Amino acid sequence: MMLHRKSQKEGLTATLIKPGDFPDWEHEFLLQVDLLGLQQHLKRKIFLEEEPAFPDIRRRKYTKTTAAQRTIRSETPETEGTNSDEIQETTNGTWSLSDLTDQGQKSFQQDLSFYQLQEKSSERQRKSLRTLQDWIIRTVSPSYIRTCCQPRKSIYEWHYNLRARCGRSEADETRDARNTYLTLMKTPPKTATQALKWLEEWEEALAKGQQQKVPETLFCSSWAYDFLNVSSHLLPAWTAAYEISQQNLIQDESLIYRDLANAFRNKLKNAEALRGPGRTGNFSQGAFSASFAGEDPQDDEPEDARIIEGQYRSLKKEGQRTKRQRPPEEQDKCPACGLPHVLKKCFYVFPNIAWRGFRPREKFQTKVKEALEEDLDLQAQVKALTQKKSKISPKQAIEDTSDQ
C-alpha cells in the first residue's frame, strides 16, 4: 500500500504489484531505458563499460629525454621489439612532464584528453543506471525486489527475473497481442460510440502486434483489408471508395495505419453529426453512405418517395421556381451504379457529396462494389476524380444537376 501511495504522489502511471501489471509496467520501463540511453544493457549481461585507465607516464611509449633516460632503473636497451607499455621506473622517484620529449608530451596529452572524455561518459552511464535502478525500486513491489533484483546484478538480469516472476515470456506477449488483434477483427461495432472506441483499441492492438512481430499486423496488405472488412459493415460506400483510392499505397505497403484510422474517425464523426442530436442506436446497413435517386423508394420512407427524378432533392421553396430537369431516360448513365447522373456526382462512389437524409439501396451498393472491383477502366476514372485538388461539394453538385 505504501508503494501505491508513493507512486501516485510522484505521478507514476504504472506499478508492478501483481503479474497482471507487467505489460503496462514493462512499457514504461522500456521508455525509461530509451530515455536514459541504456538499450545495450537489455541486450546482454553487462554492468558498465570498462573503467577508463589514467595514462601512466611511466610507460615506455611516452619517450623520455636523454637526460631522463640516464635515471631509468632498468637498463633495458631501446629496440624495435620492446613493448611500448613497459613500465620504466626512475631513480629520482617519479616522472614529470619535463622528463618527456616533445613527442612524448604530445602523446601523453592526447591520451589524457581521451581519458577525460571516457571518464565523463562512464559517469553519465553510472548516473543513468542509478536513475533506472531507483525507478525500478520505486515502482516494483518490495516482494518482487527481494526475489528478482539482487545487488551487484545487471539490469538485464533484473528485467529477466521480473518477467519470469510474473510468468511472462516473449512468446506469451506475442500470443496475447495476436489474440487481442484477432478478437477485435471478429467483433465489429454497431454504433458510432462503439466504433470510435473500437478504433482506439484497433490502433493500440496493431501497434502492439507490430512490436511483437505478429504476422497479421506486419503487412499492410493484411491489416488494411482486415480493417476495411470491418468498416464495410458501417460505411460501405466510404469503404469501397477508400479502398479504390488507396489501392496503390496498400499494394506498395506504404499505407500508414494512423492515416487510415484518422480518415475513418473523421468520417464517423461527420456521419454522426449529420444524424443530428439525440439520434442514437445501431447503424443500419449502409448507414451514412451515399444514396441516389432513379431508384425505387423504400416503402417505409415516404419522404424519399416524394423525391423528384434525378439525383438530388428538389430545392424548390414556396413561391420559388426551379429549373426543369431532363427525364431520366435522356440523362447520362453512371458507369458505376447505372443511375441517371455522371460518375463524379455518384454518391455511392463519392459519399462525401451525398446530401443529408438520403439512404442507400442494397442492390445498388452491391452493383457499385462489384463494378469497382472488376472494371479497371472505372477504377482509373474514380482514381482520377479522387486525385483532383478541388472536391465537389454537395452544393455544387446540386446546382450542376439541373443541367443533366
* Tens-place pLDDT, residues 307-330: 323 334 444 444 444 444 455 455
Q: CB atoms < 10 A from the CB of 45, how many?
A: 11
Per the document, the length of the chain is: 404
160 located within any domain: yes
Could you tell me if 341 and 368 lie in one domain?
yes
Could you tell me if 133 and 214 lie in one domain?
no
In the numeric block, the cell 454537395 is attached to: 394
For the packed helices 102-139 and 22-36, what is the interaxial angle rounded to 10 degrees?
A: 160
The whole-angstrom separation of Cα 85 and Cα 56 is 9
Could you tell me if 123 and 257 lie in one domain?
no
**Domain end among 149, 168, 187:** 168
pLDDT band of residue 136 (cuts 50, 70, 90) is very high
- What per-residue confidence (pLDDT) applies to 25? 92
Q: What is the mean pLDDT of residues 291-318?
A: 35
Q: CB atoms < 10 A from the CB of 355, how many?
A: 16
280 located within any domain: no
The mean predicted confidence, pLDDT, of the chain is 75
* Tens-place pLDDT, residues 193-204: 888 999 999 998
Number of domain units in the chain: 4
164 located within any domain: yes
3-class DSSP state of 222:
helix
Q: What is the mean pLDDT of residues 228-236?
A: 89
8 Å CB contact between 144 and 162: yes
Could you tell me if 25 and 131 lie in one domain?
yes
392 located within any domain: yes
8 Å CB contact between 245 and 386: yes
Task: Out of 186-190, 260-264, 302-306, pick the least confident.
Answer: 302-306
Q: Which residues span the domain enclosing 363?
A: 302-315+323-401
Could you tell me if 369 and 390 lie in one domain?
yes
**Mean pLDDT comparison of 8-22, 297-311, 320-334, 367-381, highest-scoring range:** 367-381
Residue 1 confidence (pLDDT) above 80: no
Residue 127 confidence (pLDDT) above 70: yes
In the numeric block, the cell 596529452 is attached to: 109
Q: CB atoms < 10 A from the CB of 158, how many?
A: 23
Could you tell me if 188 and 218 lie in one domain?
yes
8 Å CB contact between 255 and 321: no
Cα 282 off chain centre by: 30
Could you tell me if 356 and 224 lie in one domain?
no
Residue 296 confidence (pLDDT) above 60: no
Could you tell me if 176 and 243 lie in one domain?
yes
The whole-angstrom separation of Cα 250 and Cα 246 is 6
Global pTM value = 0.44
293 located within any domain: no
pLDDT band of residue 268 (cuts 50, 70, 90) is confident
* Tens-place pLDDT, residues 153-179: 888 899 989 988 888 777 888 888 899
* Tens-place pLDDT, residues 335-378: 888 888 888 888 888 888 877 777 778 888 888 888 888 888 88
pLDDT band of residue 278 (cuts 50, 70, 90) is low
Could you tell me if 339 and 268 lie in one domain?
no
183 located within any domain: yes
282 located within any domain: no
Q: CB atoms < 10 A from the CB of 172, how many?
A: 15
The whole-angstrom separation of Cα 404 and Cα 327 is 9
* Tens-place pLDDT, residues 37-95: 888 877 765 555 566 777 877 787 888 887 777 777 765 555 444 677 777 777 777 88
125 located within any domain: yes
pLDDT band of residue 277 (cuts 50, 70, 90) is low
Could you tell me if 160 and 47 lie in one domain?
yes
**What is the b/e burial string over 46-72, where b = at least 16 CB atoms within 10 angstroms of the residue's CB?**
eeeeeeeeebebbbbebbbeeebeeeb
As a whole-number percent, the residues of the chain with pLDDT over 90 amount to 14
- What per-residue confidence (pLDDT) applies to 233? 86
59 grid coordinates = 610507460
Q: What is the mean pLDDT of residues 252-258?
A: 90
Could you tell me if 310 and 376 lie in one domain?
yes
- What per-residue confidence (pLDDT) applies to 90? 77
- What per-residue confidence (pLDDT) applies to 389? 38
Could you tell me if 159 and 214 lie in one domain?
no
Residue 227 confidence (pLDDT) above 90: yes
Residue 297 confidence (pLDDT) above 60: no
Residue 8 confidence (pLDDT) above 80: no
92 grid coordinates = 629520482
